[in-house]
Chains A and B, each alone.
Chain A
């Protein structure tokens, strides 16, 4: 109901603008332009995705206050795919064919992205995907504003190998059993082996989604760490399983000074559910932390707390990814003066938009973006201290340079018009 009423109001407002300026709208249908928000609001992933829905509503509201895009108001269309992969595809189809959205912001897990991919290709629409993922993909209709492995996993491992990171020699790669951890760990294993780490010094462990009894695995990690070499844990454990994992680590007395754990899926939002007193010093690698001081970040945090009317709400990395992605989309639309998907897709590479940490991110021809990489340390208040960061922005690689199957591939939608161009054979398609 609310949306219907809002769309009527929006249409009225749009009409008023047109009358006032006395110009006929360029597009055939006047009224607001619809933006699809495809994030789970129920089910297991609601915990992470609801926040992203809220941040999109905030960004759209903000844009409308500035007068919308190309003189037209934006209208959010929120659907709930309920953490259910086939439903993601159905809802995506609904957004594109029925609601005629100009662009969609959504998905969390790689499975959900893979399940909507055919829909976006078939109906030729634009998807902004805001989560760090395993890479090995570059699609014409998708823009990846989260980190590729070379923007998160590889720098984190480099840090742990450095003097400041403790010169780790032995590695536990622990992850949840699905595509993102498995691919990331495959890349990391290849990278570590190339760096001269012995096969015996790498332990890989997978657990089911929502695993809650970590006693055996934490005991194994302690045992593995007693071989006389500095040991570090790289965690791609995702979702709800993190809380019991960290609680067990704290209870078993695994201190960050002995065995540091660096996580790729634990941010401010996840730590809000844990008492971090005993976790001080454990690490996370991201492209954004709430604690980073910059005027644009301070303003964003203030705006977010006002929008949610909750002074305790935290900001996190995927929220920043949506912030960048949304601003890039607005700029691309303004550049080509059209909401048409093909024109926007062609205009996006090369578009620059500020990120929240004080830099300017750029959309690359492979549809990934440039980002800074930060290593943060857990503080007692559930926030992070930055202990290391890259000097420049890192360009996201669609295809990992460390895997045999993908090291010759690049994604280039500007010159080659191809997502998996083989530079050795100069052919598109592996």
Chain B
């Protein structure tokens, strides 16, 4: 396919811009860029707006780098001077006028933007990069053009469509053309109707938003098409909404399960009312923070590995703290639940205040690794990677725990000790040692939960407090001493909570769940899946 003349001009301009500063001054549109840079150096919103329009009009490829730098706040100026500099995405700095690599003076500050200007930068970039050789950039351009709703980009879209081979980008371009045609009141009605029909086949919020907006002013045939389209999208969204609620419920359930699963061991299996459980979660989150800081200092390029590495470290650290608590306090209090409750509550306060004195009371920032940021769409349902990983992580831990309990000697001893302590002791099991290991295991799992929770909640000394009530709720509802019950209870509570929230609001939903739970416990005091047999009486 022959390269269109327009594109050749762009390439020529880019080449010229890079080859010498003098050449830029003579290239077509370069005067616009010069004026635009003068205006950008003034750093006032009015001037910046004019500069964006100038650069978009110039069509000069050097303008793309300047606009990208402006949008990313990598464009710098020195007060009282006309010099303008920018950094590219890799951090190298250039003089914006000559394109020559140079250092940026320390007194330079970056050109400010506001949301309106940011939108204009995106729109200008969109129409300027529609013909870029990089497919990812073309796709991004097609998506930003949609947001600009600037009908003047239509000819460029047609030119881009004519040579686009990638199906995904073609679809995005056609969507963009439909959006621009529909939103331009000057376009002929049959074209607008066709565009409305195309958009009605999508089920995203943006299309719905545009259809609704246009339905307000439209007349006749167009109005009918728009109304039908809105009804169609709304119908599909109802289904999506149900799916979304279930997904949110699963995601909330997995967080509840994660927080409760360690407690299912210490409270469920051992019968220790451990009020310091939440603080184990908190300690796990702080271990994550320390590991990440270590990576930041020693190996910043491996930062994505900090989270996987933090998992075993958090387990070890909190398991050791758990064992210390068991050895130091809890073993003297077995069979005295009230004293245990008070003692562990005291420990939880001590741990909180210790962390507060050590790390300070403020939230610490734990960055999300790149594989946990962003979202993807499954049939119009938006799933965020962070939440998905947490669900997977929870299920893996649950499976591992089952394996430990059912298939290892320690698990066998644990079950033996919980079912009949004296008989187990008579069979030669060191029950004191098993108690210690069990408590360590439960605490370690809470620490691993902290690694995951550092991704969605505050890393602050109070992190644990917000989960302790929910954890007890899940374990009691599921039936003490039953891991499957805990799993089932966590997901039931999660989905019920999310199902109620849209109607009742977050506050009432939480209250309703608690009331339902109290009623349920009245009916079945031992929870959903109660242990049966003689173990119950112990």
CA distance A273 to B118 in the complex (A): 25
| Residue among A216, A256, A280 making CB contact with B498, cutoff 8 Å | A216
Given A273-B364, A281-B118, A257:B147 Cβ within 8 A: yes
| B216-A243 in contact (CB<8A) | no
| A219-B244 in contact (CB<8A) | yes
Residue of B nearest to A280 (CB): B73
Among B58-66, B184-192, B459-467, B483-491, the one that faces the other chain is: B459-467
Among B30-38, B315-323, B365-373, the one that faces the other chain is: B365-373
| B361-A46 in contact (CB<8A) | yes
Q: Would you give the shortest CB distance from B115 to chain A, in whole angstroms?
A: 5
| B456-A47 in contact (CB<8A) | no
Is B228 an interface position by the 8 A CB rule?
A: no
CA distance A206 to B504 in the complex (A): 11
| B112-A385 in contact (CB<8A) | yes
> Which A residues touch B118, using CB under 8 A?
256-257, 281
> Which B residues touch A273, using CB under 8 A?
362-365, 458-460
| A212-B456 in contact (CB<8A) | yes
Q: Would you give the shortest CB distance from A217 to chain B, in whole angstroms?
A: 7
| A163-B116 in contact (CB<8A) | yes
Of listed A51, A251, A272, residue having the most chain B CB within 10 A: A251
| B507-A244 in contact (CB<8A) | no
Per-position contact with A for B491-504: 1 when CB-CB < 8 Å, else 0?
00000001001100
Among A15-23, A147-155, A223-231, A321-329, the one that faces the other chain is: A223-231
> Which B residues touch A41, using CB under 8 A?
361
Residue of B nearest to A375 (CB): B114
> Which B residues touch A247, using CB under 8 A?
368, 386, 455-456
Is A253 an interface position by the 8 A CB rule?
A: yes
CA distance A22 to B297 in the complex (A): 59
Interface residues on B, range: 35 or more
Q: Would you give the shortest CB distance from A377 to chain B, in whole angstroms?
A: 7
**Which residues, 37 to 55 on A, are CB-close (under 8 Å) to B?**
41-44, 46-47, 50-51
CA distance A252 to B498 in the complex (A): 17
Of listed B116, B213, B352, B465, residue having the most chain A CB within 10 A: B116
Q: Would you give the shortest CB distance from A245 to chain B, in whole angstroms?
A: 11
| B457-A212 in contact (CB<8A) | yes
Per-position contact with A for B361-389: 1 when CB-CB < 8 Å, else 0?
11111011000011100000010111100
| B384-A47 in contact (CB<8A) | no
| A177-B112 in contact (CB<8A) | no
Is A220 an interface position by the 8 A CB rule?
A: yes
Is A215 an interface position by the 8 A CB rule?
A: yes
Q: Would you give the shortest CB distance from A189 to chain B, in whole angstroms?
A: 16
| A251-B384 in contact (CB<8A) | yes
How many residue-residue contacts, CB under 8 A, span A and B? 160
Is B401 an interface position by the 8 A CB rule?
A: no
Given A251-B375, A257-B119, A377-B114, A269:B362 Cβ within 8 A: yes
Among B13-21, B247-255, B432-440, the one that faces the other chain is: B247-255
Is B356 an interface position by the 8 A CB rule?
A: yes
> Which B residues touch A248, using CB under 8 A?
384, 456
CA distance A42 to B462 in the complex (A): 10
> Which B residues touch A47, using CB under 8 A?
361-363, 460, 462
Q: Would you give the shortest CB distance from A258 to chain B, in whole angstroms?
A: 8
Is A350 an interface position by the 8 A CB rule?
A: no
Among B98-106, B150-158, B201-209, B520-528, the one that faces the other chain is: B201-209
Per-position contact with B for A295-330: 1 when CB-CB < 8 Å, else 0?
000000000000000000000000000000000000
Residue of B nearest to A163 (CB): B116
Per-position contact with B for A152-192: 1 when CB-CB < 8 Å, else 0?
00000000000111100000000001000000000000000
Given A227-B212, A257-B118, A387-B112, A272:B362 Cβ within 8 A: yes
| A42-B362 in contact (CB<8A) | no
Is B345 an interface position by the 8 A CB rule?
A: no
CA distance A274 to B367 in the complex (A): 8
Is A63 an interface position by the 8 A CB rule?
A: no
Of listed A211, A213, A244, A379, residue having the most chain B CB within 10 A: A213
Is A90 an interface position by the 8 A CB rule?
A: no
CA distance A46 to B461 in the complex (A): 10
Given A207-B506, A215-B248, A257-B122, A166:B115 Cβ within 8 A: yes
> Which A residues touch B382, using CB under 8 A?
219, 252-253
> Which A residues touch B386, using CB under 8 A?
247, 251
Q: Would you give the shortest CB distance from A157 to chain B, in whole angstroms?
A: 15
**Which residues, 274 to 302 on A, are CB-close (under 8 Å) to B?**
274-275, 278, 280-281
| B507-A177 in contact (CB<8A) | yes
Is A113 an interface position by the 8 A CB rule?
A: no
Of all A-B residue pairs in the complex, the 4 with the closest CB atoms, nearest first, are A273-B363, A228-B213, A226-B205, A228-B212
Q: List 29 A-B contacts (CB under 8 A).
A: A165-B116, A211-B506, A212-B457, A215-B252, A216-B245, A216-B248, A220-B502, A223-B205, A225-B205, A226-B209, A226-B212, A228-B215, A229-B213, A240-B462, A240-B466, A244-B456, A251-B373, A251-B374, A251-B386, A252-B384, A253-B375, A257-B118, A270-B363, A275-B365, A281-B113, A377-B114, A385-B112, A385-B113, A388-B114
Q: Which residues of A contact B (CB under 8 A)?
A: 41-44, 46-47, 50-51, 163-166, 177, 205-208, 210-213, 215-217, 219-220, 222-223, 225-229, 240, 243-244, 247-248, 250-253, 256-258, 260, 269-270, 272-275, 278, 280-281, 377, 379-380, 385-388
Given contacts A215-B248, A275-B367, 19 further A-B contacts (CB under 8 A): A41-B361, A42-B352, A43-B462, A165-B115, A165-B116, A166-B115, A206-B506, A213-B248, A213-B251, A216-B506, A219-B244, A223-B205, A240-B460, A247-B456, A248-B456, A251-B386, A272-B362, A273-B460, A274-B363
